[in-house]
Amino acid sequence: MSKLLSIKNLRVRFRTNSPFQAMINKIEDPYIDAVRQVSLEMKEGETFTLVGESGSGKSTLALATAGLLNAEEGQIKFMNEDVTTMTSSQIMAYRKKISYIWQDSIGSLSPRMSVGSLITEAYKIHNLKDRDLKMESDRLLKLVGLPKQISERYPHQLSGGQARRVGVARAISLDPKMIIADEPTAGLDVSVQGEILNLLNKLKDDLGVSLFVITHNLNIVRHISDKTAVMYLGRFVEQGQTDDIFAKPRHPYTLALLSANLAPYSEANLKNRIELQGEVPSLMDRPNGCEFHTRCPFSSKHCDNEFPPIHTFNNSQILTCHYPLN
Amino acid sequence: MIENILRIRDLSVNYQTNRGILKALRHVNLDIPKSSIVGVVGESGCGKSTLITSIIRQLDDNADIPNGLIEFEKQDLLKLSKDEMRNISGTKISIVFQNPMSTLNPVISIGRQMIDIQYRDQISKKIKKQRSIDMLTKVGLPDPHIQFNQYPHELSGGMQQRVSIAMALQAGPSLLIADEPTTALDATLEVQILKLLKELQEELGCSILFVSHHLGVIAELCDHVVVMYAGQVVEQGSTYEIFNKPAHPYTIKLLECDPASISKKQRLLPTIPGEIPDLINLSKGCIFKNRCSQSIDRCSQETPIWKEFDNAHFVSCHLTES
């Protein structure tokens, strides 16, 4: 499989004070880093999932990958083209190859447009005049398992699951190479959640797209993804093959996330649970040393003053921790 | 016999809509024993919120209750006048809502809001303030003296939810209704809030009606589970019974669908085929018959009766009778 996406040392930051405010208040660094030193590689046909708590920078990373946010440092290469240095016309062509399924499925659909025109909107934006929009709309609806008649409905007439399917239809309309799905199952019931994930997997096989999934539902990660990265305060604390991470989490934060994942069936889970104390620190005031040490149940010396080294296990499981778990 | 703090019998709620009468709840039976946590699970649109709002008598104007009984501490809530109801809600029954940011008033400081809700008590403001700070300490808010003067937006989601729990428990209610209180929170905070709720429940001895569609959360926290489907309670029993010996086909399917229950990695996840029935044009027979893989002729003829299937394990299904 060839390389699809490769990100190196990506840093994305947001301004917190205007230059003038910063000057008056003598703030030296009026920025927060939402994504810091993130590197990842994704091959064609793979499913990559990004997990982490809210505010950990998952969506920022995805937006930067889609070329919707500017990177401060680092490199995003998609099929050997550097996204960070693209001109606006190149970005337009790039967006045909990469598409997005938004988190708020109904909110991402314009309330004034019918489903039919929503899912063919991309053809108009990219000036593809040779397509028969009616036929395309029928084809896409069939692909995502919705009846043709739904093309005349408006977003408020859709159920949550149907709106997700419309979002998926919009995403596949231009035959993208990669789909970024931001919380594709948030707010759905378990059976509908299964339907949407089965649909995404089917499309992945039929159309050969790769999936970049953001979620905080670990139960689904285990079933759908090939590679997983765990994000905390804008950094990857652990990444690797999904099976390895679930079988043997080596970073304390990963372990905590996995044991916070409430499943009704495992008694053992209850006994070995690690509970994190406190809250996620502010990005404006990152802890010294290991950024997780304020909540880590295993923290000891070095953790609060030295940045942890990078460990690699089995050539694929990468993590930053002073005392990786065995 | 354990005393029940809340007893619901044969409760039905209808909504008047443009298309006709929507039967949102039909013949619901539910018991909440004293000092216990009862969980309600079900998919969206199954009537969980209607159930809660009918308990606190806050149903919309187009709703009416044709039959039923909601007995709370030996009095029928449905027969109370508005004033009598107002004396109960907020003191004996209180609620924690799903979204803490919209529960709290954004332009009034937390302390002020906590003092305001004690308007019934004829005591000095100083004591009210002290009580509020004690309560905030109890829910684990760090530096309650400082947080007391802060505004909701200055706190994180988890802290806001702690404040709304503190406000709900301040009056010492005997029933706390929690409507998906952890849905808006991250997994690690969810665990913290659940632990807090359990500790407070043991300390204060109140009962909790906990509504969620997250099966893991219900299993973790609750003593009893009520499973709802399309406006009906289809099964009720102890948490152990429901999760280990589910009897109703819907409960069985629902548990199978939870990806957490599948220990082996598999790409194709199970789903429940079919759609939730239209609650305006209800057909005869069992409500789940169209999606049930084991349905028999009798299922489309007769409505199954709510019966005790095993010790304190109730279910409404024809298949469990034989």
Parent domain of B116: 96-170
CA separation for the pair A14, B110 (Å, rounded): 30
The C-alpha of A256 sits at a distance from chain B's nearest C-alpha, in angstroms, of 7
Residue A69 domain-assigned (yes or no): yes
B-chain CB neighbours of A193 within 8 Å are: 257, 259, 269
- Chain B environment of A223 (Cβ under 8 Å): 259, 262, 265-267, 269
pLDDT digits (tens, 9 = 90+) for A171-182: 999 999 999 999
B interface with A, Cβ–Cβ below 8 Å: 43-44, 156-159, 186-192, 194-195, 213-220, 243, 253-255, 257-262, 265-272
Enumerate the residues of chain B whose CB falls inside 8 A of the CB of residue A261: 187, 216, 260
Q: Which of B170, B203, B229 is the last residue of a domain?
A: B170
Residue A248 has pLDDT above 70, yes or no: yes
**Does A271 map to a domain?**
yes
pLDDT average, residue stretch A271-300: 82
How many angstroms separate the CA atoms of A189 and B42, rounded? 8
Give chain B positions within 8 Å (CB) of A195.
271
pLDDT for residue A271 is more than 60: no
CA–CA gap between residue B206 and residue B33 (Å, rounded): 10
- Chain center to CA of B39: 6
**Residue of A190, A230, A275 best to disrupt the B interface, most CBs of B under 10 A:** A190
Q: What does R_g of chain B's alpha carbons equal in angstroms?
A: 21
Cα–Cα dist A181/A171, whole Å: 9
Q: What is the CATH number of the domain that holds A210?
A: 3.40.50.300
Write the single-letter amino acid at A68.
L
pLDDT class of B235 with cuts at 50, 70, 90: very high
Distance CA A127, CA B204 (A): 65
Residue pair B277/B208 in contact (Cβ under 8 Å)? The answer is: no
Residue A215: closest C-alpha in chain B: B186
Using an 8 Å CB-CB cutoff, list chain B residues near A263.
216, 219, 258, 260-261
Q: What residues of chain B lie within 8 A of the CB of A197, using their CB?
A: 269
Residues B127 and B265 in one domain: no
Shortest CB distance from B187 goes to which of A190, A216, A222? A216
Q: Name the β-bridge partners of B240.
A: none
User: pLDDT of B295-317, one tens digit each?
Assistant: 888 898 888 988 888 888 999 99
Task: Identify the pLDDT of residue A266.
Answer: 54
State how far the alpha carbon of B118 is from the alpha carbons of A26, B13, B97, B106, B152, in Å: 44, 32, 19, 19, 19
Residue B116 has pLDDT above 60, yes or no: yes
Which helix (H) or strand (E) element contains residue A242?
A: helix A242-247
Residues of chain A neighbouring B225 (CB-CB closer than 8 A): none
**B275 CA: distance to closest CA in chain A (Å):** 10
Domain identity same for B87 and B100: no
Asked, for residue A325, whether it belongs to a domain, the answer is: no
Tokens of B148: 């007391």
The residue with tokens 């632990």 is B195
User: Do B178 and B144 have their domain in common?
Assistant: no
Domain check: are B284 and B243 in the same one? Answer: yes
The answer for residues whose C-beta is within 8 angstroms of residue B283's C-beta and 6 or more apart is: B277, B300
pLDDT given for residue B1 in this prediction = 60
Question: Do residues B143 and B191 both lie within one domain?
Answer: no
Torsional sign, CA A65, A71, A73, A78: positive
A184 within some domain: yes
B52/B197 same-domain check: yes
Tell me if A260 and B190 make a contact (CB, 8 A cut-off). Answer: yes
Mean pLDDT of chain A: 88
Query: Residue type at B269?
Result: L
Nearest-CA distance A320 → chain B (Å): 20
Range of the domain at A258: 3-320
- Amino acid letter for position A281: P
Domain contains A279: yes
B148 and B229: one domain? no
| Residues B262 and B269 sit within 8 Å (Cβ to Cβ) | yes
Q: Do A264 and B220 touch (CB under 8 A)?
A: yes
Q: Which of A164, A188, A191 to mutate to test the interface with B (most CBs of B within 10 A)?
A: A191
Q: How far is CA A82 from CA A5, A6, A91, B11, in A?
A: 10, 9, 10, 63
Compute, in degrees rounded to 10, the torsion defined by CA atoms B154, B157, B163, B169: 170
d(CA B176, CA B172): 9
Q: In what order do the strands lie in the sheet with A235-241?
A: A98-101, A178-182, A210-214, A47-51, A227-232, A235-241, A317-320, A310-313
The answer to whether A263 contacts B260, with C-beta atoms less than 8 Å apart, is yes
| pLDDT value of residue A181 | 94
* Residue-wise pLDDT tens digits, B85-99: 988 988 899 999 888
CB within 8 A of B250, min separation 6: which ones?
A: B227, B229, B234, B235, B272, B288, B291, B292
Minimal Cα–Cα distance from B191 to chain A, Å? 6
**Among candidate residues A250, A180, A234, the one with its CA nearest the CA of residue A209:** A180
Inspect the interface and report whether the beta carbons of A264 and B265 lie closer than 8 Å.
no
User: Are B161 and B295 found together in one domain?
Assistant: no
**Three-state SS string across B214-273, please?**
CHHHHHHHCCEEEEEECCEEEEEEEHHHHHHCCCCHHHHHHHHHCHHHCCCCCCCCCCCC
Contacts of A216 in chain B (CB under 8 A): 186-187
Q: What is the DSSP letter of B26?
A: E
Split into its structural domains, chain A has a count of 1
Range with the poorest average pLDDT among A42-56, A80-94, A250-264, B153-167: A250-264
Residue A129 lies in a domain: yes
Continuous H helices in chain B? 48-55, 82-88, 100-103, 110-116, 125-138, 144-147, 157-169, 187-204, 215-221, 239-244, 249-257, 297-301
Question: Shortest CA distance to A79 belongs to which of A177, A12, A174?
Answer: A177
Which residue among B117, B138, B170 closes a domain?
B170
Identify the pLDDT of residue A217.
82
In terms of domains, do B128 and B266 share one?
A: no
Q: Residue A295: closest CA among chain B residues belongs to which residue?
A: B188
Within A41-87, residue ranges assigned H as helices are 58-65
Residue that is last in its domain, among B170, B190, B223: B170
What is the C-alpha separation between B304 and B291, in angstroms, rounded? 16
pLDDT over threshold 90, residue B178: yes
Chain A residues whose CB is inside 8 A of the B216 CB are 261-264
Confidence of residue A298 (pLDDT cuts 50, 70, 90): confident
pLDDT (0 to 100) of residue B190: 84
Residues from chain A that touch B279, judged by Cβ atoms under 8 A, are none
Task: Give A302's pLDDT tier (boundaries 50, 70, 90).
Answer: confident
* Cβ atoms B255, B213 nearer than 8 A: no
* Burial class of residue B35 (count of CB atoms within 10 Å of its CB; 0-12, 13-18, 19+): middle
Helix (H) or strand (E) holding A73: strand A73-78
Q: For residue B234, which phi and psi values (nearest 5 degrees)?
A: -95, -25
What ipTM was predicted for this assembly? 0.79
Q: Are residues B196 and B259 in the same domain?
A: yes
Size of interface A-B (CB pairs under 8 A): 112
Same domain? B160 vs B177: no
* Total tally of structural domains belonging to chain B: 2
In this structure, the answer to whether residues B185 and B58 fall within a common structural domain is yes
Q: A247: part of which helix (H) or strand (E)?
A: helix A242-247
Q: Distance, in angstroms, between B65 CA and closest chain A CA?
A: 27
Q: What is the CATH classification number for the domain harbouring B216?
A: 3.40.50.300
Q: Give me the pLDDT at residue A28, please.
A: 83
User: Residue A181: how many CB atoms within 10 A of its CB?
Assistant: 26
DSSP-derived secondary structure letter, A135: H
Inter-chain touch A263–B216, beta carbons under 8 Å: yes
Structure tokens at A152: 């005349």
Going by C-alpha positions, the residue among B215, B154, B155, B163 that lies closest to residue B193 is B163
Per the domain annotation, does A263 fall within a domain?
yes
Mean pLDDT of A142-165: 90
| Best of A49, A205, A265 to mutate (most B CBs within 10 Å, chain B) | A265
Residue A309 identity = P
> What pLDDT score does A268 carry?
46
Which of B195, B220, B269 shows the shortest C-beta gap to A223? B269
Across the interface, whether the CB atoms of B268 and A193 are under 8 A apart is answered no
